[in-house]
Chain A
Amino acid sequence: ETGVTQSPTHLIKTRGQQVTLRCSSQSGHNTVSWYQQALGQGPQFIFQYYREEENGRGNFPPRFSGLQFPNYSSELNVNALELDDSALYLCASSGTLANTGELFFGEGSRLTVL
C-alpha cells in the first residue's frame, strides 16, 4: 500500500455534468500528479502540482482543472463531461522534484459517463 488515497473509487455521471475527484498524497510528499487511463491504454498525464502551484500540464482542455491544498492533498475537477472522459483517474504523489521522481499511485477513481 502506497499511502495515497483517492475518493470516490467509482462514480457514474451523465454528459454535461461536473465531477470532483479527491486525492490525499503520501506523507512527506509535496508533488501530486493526475493521470487519465482509458481502458487498455497507458496513463496519460493531465497535470502536476508542486506546493500548491500547477507545475506542468498535458494535452487536456481547460475543462480539466485542479487544486492542491496546503496539506498537499489535491482535487481534479472536470466540467462539461463527455463520453470520452470515461476512464480510470489516477493520482500519484512523489517527494521533492530533486529525487528520482518515482510515483506512488493511488487505487484510482473509475469514472463512467453515460
Chain B
Amino acid sequence: GQNIDQPTEMTATEGAIVQINCTYQTSGFNGLFWYQQHAGEAPTFLSYNVLDGLEEKGRFSSFLSRSKGYSYLLLKELQMKDSASYLCAVRLNTDKLIFGTGTRLQVFP
C-alpha cells in the first residue's frame, strides 16, 4: 500500500519560520511534490524534489531524503496569506501522484 503522513494542523506567527514534515512509504518513487491549497480553491504547485537535498525558491524551501522517506517544506517570513493547507504528494513510477491528507497551517498576527 501507499502511505504518506503529515501533521494535520500547525499554527505559527506572522514573520516566523515553520517546517512541515512529510514521511512516505510507497511502492515506487519518482519525485515528491508540495502543493498549496487555499480553502475552496485548487491546489497550486510549490516545489518538486527528485534528488536528495534542499531546493530553495524564495521564501519556500523543500528538502528530500529518499533513504529516509522524508521531506519537509520550510516557509520563512510567514505572511497571513500563507494560511492554507499544504499537500505532500509522491509521484509513483507509473506517473500517478499520491497525496497526503494535507497540513492545515494557520498564521496568526
Given A48-B96, A97-B95, the answer on whether A43 and B33 have CB atoms closer than 8 Å is no
Which residues of the other chain, B, contact A55 by a CB distance below 8 angstroms? 95
> Are A45 and B97 within 8 A (Cβ)?
yes
Determine the interface band of chain B, counting residues with CB < 8 A from chain A: 20 to 34
Q: How long is the Cα–Cα vector from A44 to B87 in the complex, in angstroms?
A: 12
| A56 shortest CB reach to chain B, Å | 5
Which residues of the other chain, A, contact B87 by a CB distance below 8 angstroms? 42-43
> Are A48 and B95 within 8 A (Cβ)?
yes
Which residues of the other chain, B, contact A8 by a CB distance below 8 angstroms? none
Contact mask for chain B residues 89-109; partner A; CB cutoff 8 A; 1 contact, 0 none: 101001111111110000000
Given A41-B101, A41-B102, A43-B87, the answer on whether A101 and B95 have CB atoms closer than 8 Å is yes
Residue numbers of A with Cβ under 8 A of B are: 2, 31, 33, 35, 40-45, 48, 55-56, 58, 90, 97, 100-108
Residue numbers of B with Cβ under 8 A of A are: 4, 30-31, 33, 41-45, 48, 50, 87, 89, 91, 94-102
| A64 shortest CB reach to chain B, Å | 15
| B49 shortest CB reach to chain A, Å | 10
> Are B99 and A42 within 8 A (Cβ)?
yes
> Are A44 and B99 within 8 A (Cβ)?
yes
> Are B102 and A42 within 8 A (Cβ)?
yes
Which residues of the other chain, B, contact A90 by a CB distance below 8 angstroms? 42-43
Q: How long is the Cα–Cα vector from A55 to B97 in the complex, in angstroms?
A: 13
CB < 8 Å: which of B4, B31, B96, B101 contacts A56? B96
> Are B91 and A2 within 8 A (Cβ)?
no
Chain A residue nearest to B91 (CB atoms) is: A101
Known: A31-B95, A42-B102, A104-B45. 9 other contacts (CB 8 A): A35-B99, A42-B87, A45-B96, A45-B98, A56-B94, A58-B96, A97-B95, A105-B42, A108-B42
Given A101-B30, A101-B31, A101-B91, the answer on whether A2 and B99 have CB atoms closer than 8 Å is no
